[in-house]
Protein backbone atom coordinates (compact mmCIF):
# COMPACT_ATOMS: atom_id res chain seq x y z
CA UNK A 1 0.00 0.00 0.00
CA UNK A 2 1.32 3.45 -0.96
CA UNK A 3 -0.04 6.59 0.66
CA UNK A 4 0.39 9.95 -1.01
CA UNK A 5 1.52 12.99 0.94
CA UNK A 6 -1.44 14.77 2.51
CA UNK A 7 -3.63 11.67 2.67
CA UNK A 8 -6.08 11.56 5.55
CA UNK A 9 -7.33 8.76 7.78
CA UNK A 10 -10.65 8.57 5.93
CA UNK A 11 -9.37 8.84 2.34
CA UNK A 12 -6.87 6.04 1.77
CA UNK A 13 -6.33 3.97 4.90
CA UNK A 14 -7.78 0.45 4.45
CA UNK A 15 -10.78 -0.45 6.60
CA UNK A 16 -8.85 -3.04 8.60
CA UNK A 17 -6.26 -0.42 9.59
CA UNK A 18 -8.96 2.08 10.54
CA UNK A 19 -10.64 -0.47 12.78
CA UNK A 20 -7.31 -1.40 14.37
CA UNK A 21 -6.63 2.26 15.19
CA UNK A 22 -10.11 2.73 16.64
CA UNK A 23 -9.88 -0.37 18.81
CA UNK A 24 -6.36 0.28 20.10
CA UNK A 25 -6.40 0.88 23.85
CA UNK A 26 -4.29 3.67 25.30
CA UNK A 27 -3.14 3.51 28.90
CA UNK A 28 -3.37 6.85 30.70
CA UNK A 29 -1.76 7.13 34.12
CA UNK A 30 -2.48 10.18 36.27
CA UNK A 31 0.02 10.77 39.05
CA UNK A 32 -0.69 12.84 42.16
CA UNK A 33 1.37 13.96 45.15
CA UNK A 34 4.46 11.91 44.40
CA UNK A 35 6.97 14.54 45.49
CA UNK A 36 10.56 13.41 44.96
CA UNK A 37 9.34 10.05 43.62
CA UNK A 38 7.87 11.62 40.47
CA UNK A 39 11.00 11.11 38.40
CA UNK A 40 11.45 7.50 39.52
CA UNK A 41 7.85 6.67 38.62
CA UNK A 42 8.25 8.48 35.29
CA UNK A 43 11.42 6.48 34.62
CA UNK A 44 9.78 3.12 35.34
CA UNK A 45 6.70 3.86 33.26
CA UNK A 46 8.83 4.82 30.28
CA UNK A 47 10.85 1.63 30.54
CA UNK A 48 7.71 -0.46 30.16
CA UNK A 49 7.73 -0.35 26.36
CA UNK A 50 10.78 0.45 24.27
CA UNK A 51 13.50 0.99 26.89
CA UNK A 52 14.79 4.55 27.14
CA UNK A 53 18.22 5.41 28.45
CA UNK A 54 18.63 7.43 31.62
CA UNK A 55 19.71 10.41 29.53
CA UNK A 56 16.68 10.06 27.22
CA UNK A 57 14.41 10.25 30.26
CA UNK A 58 16.37 13.09 31.86
CA UNK A 59 16.17 15.25 28.75
CA UNK A 60 12.48 14.53 28.26
CA UNK A 61 11.58 15.14 31.90
CA UNK A 62 13.62 18.29 32.55
CA UNK A 63 13.83 19.65 29.01
CA UNK A 64 10.31 21.05 28.96
CA UNK A 65 10.49 24.81 29.43
CA UNK A 66 14.28 24.81 29.80
CA UNK A 67 16.58 26.29 27.18
CA UNK A 68 19.60 25.17 29.23
CA UNK A 69 18.63 21.48 29.22
CA UNK A 70 17.79 21.79 25.51
CA UNK A 71 21.26 23.26 25.02
CA UNK A 72 22.84 20.15 26.55
CA UNK A 73 20.85 18.00 24.12
CA UNK A 74 21.92 20.22 21.22
CA UNK A 75 25.63 19.82 22.02
CA UNK A 76 25.16 16.06 21.78
CA UNK A 77 24.03 16.16 18.15
CA UNK A 78 26.76 14.44 16.13
CA UNK A 79 24.85 13.77 12.92
CA UNK A 80 23.70 17.19 11.78
CA UNK A 81 22.12 16.01 8.53
CA UNK A 82 20.36 12.98 10.00
CA UNK A 83 16.59 13.08 10.34
CA UNK A 84 16.60 13.10 14.16
CA UNK A 85 19.42 15.64 14.40
CA UNK A 86 17.85 17.97 11.86
CA UNK A 87 14.46 17.76 13.56
CA UNK A 88 15.91 18.59 16.96
CA UNK A 89 18.06 21.44 15.63
CA UNK A 90 14.96 23.04 14.09
CA UNK A 91 12.96 22.49 17.28
CA UNK A 92 15.65 24.10 19.47
CA UNK A 93 15.79 27.09 17.13
CA UNK A 94 12.02 27.54 16.97
CA UNK A 95 11.36 27.10 20.73
CA UNK A 96 14.39 28.82 22.26
CA UNK A 97 16.25 30.61 19.47
CA UNK A 98 19.22 28.25 19.89
CA UNK A 99 21.36 27.79 16.81
CA UNK A 100 23.59 24.82 16.03
CA UNK A 101 26.62 25.21 18.25
CA UNK A 102 29.59 23.58 16.57
CA UNK A 103 31.16 26.56 14.81
CA UNK A 104 34.50 24.78 14.22
CA UNK A 105 33.89 22.39 11.33
CA UNK A 106 37.04 20.37 11.98
CA UNK A 107 36.10 19.92 15.62
CA UNK A 108 32.58 18.86 14.70
CA UNK A 109 33.83 16.38 12.08
CA UNK A 110 36.10 14.86 14.72
CA UNK A 111 33.22 14.74 17.23
CA UNK A 112 30.91 13.17 14.65
CA UNK A 113 33.42 10.52 13.58
CA UNK A 114 34.00 9.58 17.23
CA UNK A 115 30.31 8.82 17.84
CA UNK A 116 28.90 7.82 14.46
CA UNK A 117 27.79 4.19 14.07
CA UNK A 118 28.90 3.24 17.58
CA UNK A 119 26.56 1.11 19.69
CA UNK A 120 27.31 3.25 22.76
CA UNK A 121 26.09 6.40 21.00
CA UNK A 122 22.45 5.36 21.34
CA UNK A 123 20.32 6.95 24.04
CA UNK A 124 21.81 10.47 23.96
CA UNK A 125 25.18 9.34 25.35
CA UNK A 126 26.96 12.19 23.55
CA UNK A 127 24.84 14.80 25.35
CA UNK A 128 25.40 12.94 28.62
CA UNK A 129 29.13 13.36 28.08
CA UNK A 130 28.66 17.13 27.94
CA UNK A 131 26.60 16.91 31.13
CA UNK A 132 29.42 15.01 32.84
CA UNK A 133 31.84 17.77 31.80
CA UNK A 134 29.52 20.39 33.32
CA UNK A 135 29.32 18.43 36.56
CA UNK A 136 33.11 18.20 36.77
CA UNK A 137 33.52 21.91 36.05
CA UNK A 138 31.21 22.82 38.96
CA UNK A 139 31.93 19.96 41.35
CA UNK A 140 31.86 22.12 44.47
CA UNK A 141 28.54 23.73 43.61
CA UNK A 142 27.04 20.38 42.65
CA UNK A 143 28.14 18.93 46.00
CA UNK A 144 26.48 21.80 47.86
CA UNK A 145 23.27 21.22 45.91
CA UNK A 146 23.25 17.50 46.68
CA UNK A 147 23.78 18.16 50.39
CA UNK A 148 20.96 20.72 50.54
CA UNK A 149 17.83 18.74 51.41
CA UNK A 150 15.64 21.81 51.16
CA UNK A 151 16.84 22.58 47.65
CA UNK A 152 16.30 18.98 46.57
CA UNK A 153 12.77 19.06 47.96
CA UNK A 154 12.07 22.23 45.98
CA UNK A 155 13.40 20.52 42.85
CA UNK A 156 11.41 17.36 43.67
CA UNK A 157 14.60 15.32 43.48
CA UNK A 158 16.37 13.00 45.85
CA UNK A 159 20.00 11.99 46.29
CA UNK A 160 21.04 8.72 47.90
CA UNK A 161 24.59 8.58 46.60
CA UNK A 162 23.65 7.31 43.12
CA UNK A 163 25.31 9.17 40.24
CA UNK A 164 22.17 9.11 38.07
CA UNK A 165 20.35 11.02 40.84
CA UNK A 166 23.14 13.61 40.84
CA UNK A 167 22.70 14.09 37.10
CA UNK A 168 18.94 14.41 37.63
CA UNK A 169 19.46 17.08 40.29
CA UNK A 170 21.79 19.05 38.02
CA UNK A 171 19.22 19.12 35.21
CA UNK A 172 16.43 19.94 37.65
CA UNK A 173 18.43 22.88 39.00
CA UNK A 174 19.15 24.45 35.62
CA UNK A 175 15.52 23.92 34.61
CA UNK A 176 14.52 25.73 37.82
CA UNK A 177 16.91 28.57 37.02
CA UNK A 178 15.41 28.97 33.56
CA UNK A 179 11.90 29.04 34.98
CA UNK A 180 12.81 31.40 37.87
CA UNK A 181 15.10 34.01 36.28
CA UNK A 182 14.70 36.31 39.29
CA UNK A 183 16.51 33.81 41.54
CA UNK A 184 20.30 33.90 41.93
CA UNK A 185 21.59 30.96 39.83
CA UNK A 186 23.59 28.29 41.64
CA UNK A 187 24.93 26.69 38.45
CA UNK A 188 25.98 28.10 35.08
CA UNK A 189 23.28 30.01 33.27
CA UNK A 190 22.59 29.63 29.56
CA UNK A 191 24.85 32.54 28.58
CA UNK A 192 27.88 30.98 30.24
CA UNK A 193 27.00 27.54 28.90
CA UNK A 194 26.84 28.84 25.36
CA UNK A 195 29.41 31.63 25.24
CA UNK A 196 32.13 30.23 27.48
CA UNK A 197 31.88 26.61 28.55
CA UNK A 198 30.89 25.16 25.19
CA UNK A 199 33.76 26.94 23.42
CA UNK A 200 36.12 25.47 26.03
CA UNK A 201 34.58 22.02 25.45
CA UNK A 202 34.85 22.34 21.66
CA UNK A 203 38.54 23.31 21.80
CA UNK A 204 39.38 20.38 24.06
CA UNK A 205 37.41 17.89 21.96
CA UNK A 206 39.21 19.03 18.82
CA UNK A 207 42.60 18.76 20.50
CA UNK A 208 42.14 15.47 22.35
CA UNK A 209 40.37 13.50 19.63
CA UNK A 210 42.63 14.62 16.81
CA UNK A 211 45.80 14.12 18.86
CA UNK A 212 44.81 10.72 20.22
CA UNK A 213 43.04 9.48 17.10
CA UNK A 214 41.84 5.90 17.24
CA UNK A 215 43.79 5.25 20.45
CA UNK A 216 41.05 7.05 22.44
CA UNK A 217 37.93 4.86 22.25
CA UNK A 218 34.49 6.39 22.69
CA UNK A 219 33.96 4.15 25.71
CA UNK A 220 36.30 6.54 27.58
CA UNK A 221 33.91 9.47 27.06
CA UNK A 222 33.25 10.00 30.78
CA UNK A 223 36.96 10.23 31.59
CA UNK A 224 37.45 12.69 28.73
CA UNK A 225 34.45 14.71 29.94
CA UNK A 226 35.78 14.94 33.50
CA UNK A 227 39.20 16.04 32.23
CA UNK A 228 37.64 18.79 30.12
CA UNK A 229 35.41 19.91 32.95
CA UNK A 230 38.22 19.97 35.51
CA UNK A 231 40.26 22.25 33.21
CA UNK A 232 37.48 24.85 32.99
CA UNK A 233 37.70 26.71 36.33
CA UNK A 234 41.30 27.73 35.57
CA UNK A 235 40.46 28.19 31.86
CA UNK A 236 43.34 25.88 30.99
CA UNK A 237 43.78 25.68 27.22
CA UNK A 238 44.44 22.27 25.64
CA UNK A 239 47.64 23.40 23.94
CA UNK A 240 49.42 23.93 27.26
pLDDT tens track for 43-52: 555 555 556 6
DSSP conformation letters of 133-175: HHHHHTHHHHHHHHT-HHHHHHHT---SS-HHHHHHHHHHHHH
- Contact between 20 and 26 under an 8 Å Cβ cutoff? The reply is no
- Contact between 230 and 131 under an 8 Å Cβ cutoff? The reply is no
pLDDT tens track for 92-143: 999 999 998 888 899 999 999 999 989 998 888 999 999 999 999 999 999 9
Q: Is the pTM of this model over 0.85?
A: no
pLDDT tens track for 7-21: 677 777 788 888 888
pLDDT value for 28 = 67
pLDDT-based confidence at residue 204 (cuts at 50, 70, 90): very high
Cβ neighbours, 10 Å, residue 57: 21
pLDDT tens track for 15-38: 888 888 888 877 666 665 555 555
pLDDT value for 3 = 60
Amino acid sequence: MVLTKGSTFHEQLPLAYKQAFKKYRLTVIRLRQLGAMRLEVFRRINQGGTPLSGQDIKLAYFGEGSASVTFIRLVGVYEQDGAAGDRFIRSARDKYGLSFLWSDNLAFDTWSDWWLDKEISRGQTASEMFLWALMAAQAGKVDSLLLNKGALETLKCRYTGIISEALDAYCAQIQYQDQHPQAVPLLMDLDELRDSFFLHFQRWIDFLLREAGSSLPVTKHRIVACLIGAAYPSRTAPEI
